[in-house]
């Protein structure tokens, strides 16, 4: 049997467009001799759909799209298409997350997803009823063990505790499955390639069956999909692998068991490719912006953001604006101008001092008798945000915010100032990785696209004389590792102190800053997710809370004293 594994890039909510593209690919696959074409999870509606599925018109549109596709399946061929279907019972959720098995002139068959994730970005039990059972579908004499994304992840090795009581793969194999087929909408994060390879190899070693995975590619809002679709032989060998971040079709003959090399992945190259994909897809799929706009400070964050934007949409659709104040260094303007020249983007200078002075004059009667401080500093940042948004409104530009994950974690950002914009490009990238991205960008180009002076200068917000980030924050290599353990690994401060050797007071102050700045992050632009725990949809923390670690330590001490009394 010849199988086409389709690494598909849907647009969320575009049921008609997605359906037409599916049929076009199926017809091409049929012309190339494919007997079966496999498309990813929920590719009719796109992932993530969120509360679109609460709209009955959307559900009806998905049903029409599936019927339209079914009527156009090439003769002699079958399609496996990720979709939703209504629950025929009034008991449980109204929908199933399903794979439709479609053949010309035959009724559609459905396989429903059994394991519904409700962690991180995922909230599937909000919408779907889990499958009650799993049964293979027989096609051309082969029993296909079709299952959907999470259904393959319930292995004890990959979780500190199992989230589900059942294992869909075991049930499929008990019923005679001969080929395992997974439809996925599995997003990118650091190390995801390696984890998928290890997981599928373990499944093959356990069950001695070949494994096919079709994964979504592209990006939808904050979620970035790398694809990584593949085929593994029954012994776990990788047979074929789709290129990352590209819509493509793999063709595999089930008689072909020749292994292909397992590629190595450079973490920073993957990070670069993922962010470029995220910018490009947000721009293309939103369809409302004609240009990307970045406030250039002469610093490394705005420089890397601009370089990524140019890679995503080309220099003719990117503009940079530098907005010097009385505290801006000469290098902040000259480095911004040099960056713009290196990238080939349009460049403008808007001095903000007249507006800042006017704001201070306006506020003077209310501020009388007070000393200048953070409020006055932030007037500068907010004036810059106002200028960028004015240009955005006037010309239909998308403002890219440039704050990194380290700054967003610590609240080292100004609401309605440098946080103003439509998409956060670096909000899931720690500062140390921003520097590595800059080095990669220059290495990739074979020249210093990002000026060396930008990379070497100490980071500064330039909102007061001689200001440096290190005046308010610990050195980034130290800070970033603490933040990574707290946010991404979810360790408590005792474990962080034990692992890194810092004092409890030092770590507690950093974690407290993360906690109390949740209100800022709730108002931030959506950010591109590249780690396993990003701010935004996947990290849901209360704003109004009192999480006092010192008080908790006192309680523990009192309990210990009482126990020993």
Active site residues: 41, 113, 149
Residues in the chain, how many? 565
> In the Cβ-directed half-sphere of 237, how many Cα atoms lie within 13 Å?
9
The whole-angstrom separation of Cα 197 and Cα 181 is 15
- What 8-state DSSP symbol labels residue 522? T
Cα dist. 43→6, 7, 52, 175 in Å?
11, 10, 14, 27
* 23 Cβ contact partners less than 8 Å away, ≥ 6 residues apart: 68, 69, 72
- Matching residue, tokens 């500068």: 380
**Cis check: omega of the bond before 48, within 30 degrees of 0:** yes
The whole-angstrom separation of Cα 217 and Cα 250 is 13
The whole-angstrom separation of Cα 86 and Cα 89 is 9
The whole-angstrom separation of Cα 145 and Cα 138 is 9
Cα dist. 309→31, 119, 358, 535 in Å?
38, 31, 33, 21
Q: By the 8 A CB rule, do 116 and 125 touch?
A: yes
Structure tokens at 368: 């009388």
Sign of CA dihedral 341, 343, 348, 351: negative
């Amino acid at each position: 049997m010849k199988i086409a594994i389709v690494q598909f890039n849907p647009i969320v909510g575009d049921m008609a467009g997605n359906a037409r593209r599916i049929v076009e690919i199926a017809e091409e696959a049929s012309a190339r001799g494919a007997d079966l074409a496999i498309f990813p999870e929920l590719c009719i509606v796109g992932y993530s759909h969120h509360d679109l599925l609460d709209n009955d018109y959307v559900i009806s549109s998905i049903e029409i799209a599936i019927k339209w596709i079914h009527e156009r399946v090439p003769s002699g061929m079958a399609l496996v298409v990720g979709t939703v279907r209504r629950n025929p019972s009034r008991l449980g959720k109204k929908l199933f997350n399903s794979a439709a098995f479609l053949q010309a002139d035959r009724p559609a068959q459905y396989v429903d997803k059994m394991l519904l994730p409700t962690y991180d970005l995922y909230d599937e039990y909000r919408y779907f009823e889990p499958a009650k059972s799993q049964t293979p579908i027989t096609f051309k004499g082969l029993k296909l063990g079709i299952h959907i994304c999470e259904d393959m992840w319930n292995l004890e090795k990959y979780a500190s505790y199992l989230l589900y009581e059942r294992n869909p793969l075991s049930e499929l194999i008990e019923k005679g499955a001969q080929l395992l087929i997974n439809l996925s909408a599995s997003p990118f994060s650091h190390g995801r390639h390696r984890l998928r390879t290890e997981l599928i190899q373990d499944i093959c070693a356990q069950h001695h069956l070949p494994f096919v995975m079709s994964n979504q590619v592209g990006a939808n809002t904050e979620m970035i999909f790398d694809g990584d679709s593949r085929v593994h032989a029954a012994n776990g060998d990788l047979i074929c692998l789709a290129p990352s971040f590209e819509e493509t079709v793999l063709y595999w003959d089930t008689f072909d068991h020749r292994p292909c090399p397992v590629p190595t992945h450079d973490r920073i190259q993957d990070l670069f490719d993922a962010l470029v994909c995220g910018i490009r897809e947000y721009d293309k799929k939103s369809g409302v912006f004609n240009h990307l706009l970045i406030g250039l400070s002469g610093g490394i964050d705005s420089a890397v953001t601009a370089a990524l934007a140019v890679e995503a949409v080309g220099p003719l659709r990117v503009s940079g604006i530098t907005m010097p104040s009385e505290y801006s260094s000469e290098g902040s303007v000259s480095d911004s101008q040099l960056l713009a020249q290196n990238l080939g983007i349009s460049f403008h200078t808007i001095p903000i001092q007249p507006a800042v002075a006017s704001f201070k004059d306006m506020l003077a009667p209310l501020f009388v008798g007070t000393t200048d401080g953070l409020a006055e500093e932030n007037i500068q940042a907010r004036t810059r945000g106002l200028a960028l948004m004015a240009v955005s409104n006037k010309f239909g530009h998308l403002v890219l915010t440039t704050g990194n994950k380290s700054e967003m974690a610590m609240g080292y950002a100004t609401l309605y100032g440098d946080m103003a914009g439509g998409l956060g490009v670096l909000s899931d990238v720690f500062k140390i990785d921003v520097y590595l991205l800059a080095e990669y960008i220059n290495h990739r180009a074979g020249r210093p696209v990002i000026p060396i002076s930008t990379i070497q200068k100490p980071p500064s917000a330039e909102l007061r004389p001689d200001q440096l980030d290190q005046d308010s924050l610990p050195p980034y290599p130290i800070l970033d590792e603490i933040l990574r353990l707290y946010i991404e690994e979810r360790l408590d401060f005792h474990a962080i102190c034990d692992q890194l050797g810092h004092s409890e007071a030092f770590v507690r102050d950093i974690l407290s800053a993360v906690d109390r700045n949740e209100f800022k992050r709730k108002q931030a632009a959506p950010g591109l997710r590249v780690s396993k725990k990003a701010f935004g949809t996947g990290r849901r923390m209360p704003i109004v809370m009192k999480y006092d670690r010192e008080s908790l330590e006192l309680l523990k001490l009192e309990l210990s004293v009482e126990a020993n009394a």
